[in-house]
Amino acid sequence: MSATQVIYEYNETHITKDGKYLEIELAGQKFPLELKNVGSVENSVYIAWLDTHPDHPDVPPGLPHAAAVERANLILEMVQRGQEVTTIVTPNSSKSIPSIQEAVAIVSRALGKHINFIILPGGKNEDEVSKQSAIAPVMYHNVTSPDAKFLGITQSDIDILLENNLHGKGLLTIDDVYTSGKTDEAVQEILNRVLHLPDDYRHPLVCIARESEYVDGYPHKAPDHVFATMHLPEFTHGFHN
């Protein structure tokens, strides 16, 4: 299955007049995403901060539900094009889990069947992740944190995959944003190790947004296994208000 078309591409024109937010649209509603510098003072990298946790104080009301609806709709479109879905896997995240859980519930109701949902244990403490994981944790770095992070998988979730998703059949991964791809690579490594698949095998990833640098050639094409609903810019050379 080829990658889906991005629904919308955002750029400088969507920045609010005060220069603090990028205005996006999800499920027919507009939301301001704060522009945060995840780089340094000397080498700034401003990204639209997509937090979908309903209990976080800075998250616009309605955004977590709208994000869940968008993710679910994208998965259902993939099903209509022939994608089988029996299990959905996501890395542990302080921002994403409730909204992703809602998306999985929407998909389950729409398809009229139970969808297995696996949250991979993860965090910055390797020892803590090791205690939960049945395999050696995978280390990775992502754009939003300078510290190393680790992902693992529990034995009960390995059993679910081996029972329902041999050869990767019916398996999707899900997240908020695809930027550098480092989190995705860690998830893919774990799944391929458990299912004894080649290292370069890629399970479909569903996310709200694909991010890429806002320079010549923006937006950069996402890998074929990445399915996103929108494209967000990374402002690495500043922007004009």
Work out the average pLDDT over 5-18: 85
pLDDT at 217: 83
Q: Is the pLDDT of residue 2 over 50?
A: no
Per-residue b or e along 214-231, where b marks 16 or more CB atoms closer than 10 Å to that residue's CB: beeeebeebeebbbbbbb
More confident residue, 72 or 220: 72
Q: Is the pLDDT of residue 4 over 60?
A: no
Domains of the chain and CATH, by start: 8-234 (3.40.50.2020)
**DSSP secondary structure letters along 100-138:** HHHHHHHHHHHHTS--EEEEE-EES-HHHHHHH-SSPPE
More confident residue, 145 or 28: 28
State the pLDDT confidence band at 240, using cuts at 50, 70 and 90.
low
State the pLDDT confidence band at 39, using cuts at 50, 70 and 90.
confident
